[in-house]
Chains A and B, each alone.
Chain A
Amino acid sequence: MNGDDARGGNGTEGTPTDSELSARLRRLETQIERKRPQAAAEPSTRPRTNGSSSLGQAMTLSTEFVAGVIAGGILGWIVDHVFGTKPWGLIVLLMLGFVAGVYNVMRVSGFSGARPERRDRQEP
């Protein structure tokens, strides 16, 4: 509670009402979460904390990479077909697909800071 209030106070003087409102909303959210019956919290926290979720993540990793390469290949083939640039579209886009595959894997495993808001927005 105190942490939220301090953050609301430290906010910019230009929009004090906005920061106040968001702090109040956050406080309400935590209160609702606390009031919620444990039945809702139980099934949700269990798979996320133990092996089930990480196993699911491990299964996503391999296909994420392969899918990037395949998508690059398909896109390159289409580009070649449409623009008549026979080998070059496939070569360039296959390599970009390779990069996209690595990027996918990094994003799924959480190594890249590319989309931190996806998880962080709900967590605090």
Chain B
Amino acid sequence: MAVTIDPIEQFELKPLVSLGHIGHQQLAFTQSALYMFAAVGVIALITIVATASRSIVPGRMQSLAEIFYEFIADTVHQATGDGGKRFMPLVFSLFMFVLILNLFGMIPYAFAVTSHLIVTFGLAALVISTVVIFGVMKHGTHFFGLFVPSGVPKPLLAILVPIEIISFISRPISLSVRLFANMLAGHIAMKIFAFFVVQLLLAGAWSVLSPLPLFLTIALTALEFLVAALQAYVFATLTAIYLNDALHPGH
């Protein structure tokens, strides 16, 4: 009678093609990697194929690509000013990659790649290393003036500089944990509430209550679509804000 279900099971990596071992660690082409390739394919379809005609009055696909482009171009411009143009490709790629992967996760039975911390941390590490490397290349040691707040009495700097450094180190953590936690929690919640429907249907007279979790699941699905888009937007915005620090260390 009791049907058991594991809400974590959907996040398991399943190796599709094994590429050999390093020690005991198997190197494999997993379904996660497959989804990433599929996402890149979809993004290429939206951006390259759809804009190939370059018509002045855009068709459906081209206007979709243009909406994404203008949206991100505007976000980057708002956060970084004119100097940020060169980071536009990076932010746009990150936004599209995260957005498409999040939306892939919303397809029933599909796998949500961004619910793995290592994926999101990889993306965040890419962003932060870009900020540090570009900042040091452009401004030299002046970049580390980022950690010294201006207009502060000298004795306070002994406390404020470590706080600023910790605050900077916390950036990749917050960037990755936010995306990962939102996707993980959302998918677990949807799975559990959807399972309540099944459990209530099997519980005899209680099955009259089963539409309640069904409606909740529908509402959660809508919410998850919002979260999927919003998290991609937040990721792109914060990337632009952090890149602004590399461009203008200020202080």
A residues near B (Cβ < 8 Å) are 39-40, 43-44, 47, 52, 55-56, 59-60, 63-64, 66-68, 70-72, 74-75, 93, 96-97, 99-101, 103-104, 107, 114-115, 117-118, 121-122
In-complex Cβ contact of B170 among A44, A71, A121, A122 (8 A): A71
Main secondary structure of the interface of B (DSSP, over half): helix
Q: A68-B166, A121-B81 are in contact. Are A43 and B178 (CB under 8 A)?
A: no
CB atoms of A59 and B171 under 8 A apart: no
List B contacts of A121 (CB < 8 A). 81, 248
B residues near A (Cβ < 8 Å) are 67, 70-71, 74-75, 77-79, 81, 149, 159, 162-164, 166-167, 169-171, 173-174, 177-178, 181-182, 230-231, 233-234, 237-238, 241, 244, 248, 250
Main secondary structure of the interface of A (DSSP, over half): helix
CB atoms of A100 and B177 under 8 A apart: no
Q: A63-B177, A68-B167, A71-B170 are in contact. Are A118 and B71 (CB under 8 A)?
A: no
Q: A56-B230, A60-B234, A96-B162 are in contact. Are A101 and B71 (CB under 8 A)?
A: no
In-complex Cβ contact of B244 among A44, A107, A114, A118 (8 A): A118
Of chain B, the residue at the smallest CB distance from A40 is B70
CB atoms of B177 and A122 under 8 A apart: no
Closest 4 CB pairs of A and B: A67-B174, A71-B170, A67-B170, A100-B166
Docked complex Cα distance between A60 and B74 (Å): 20
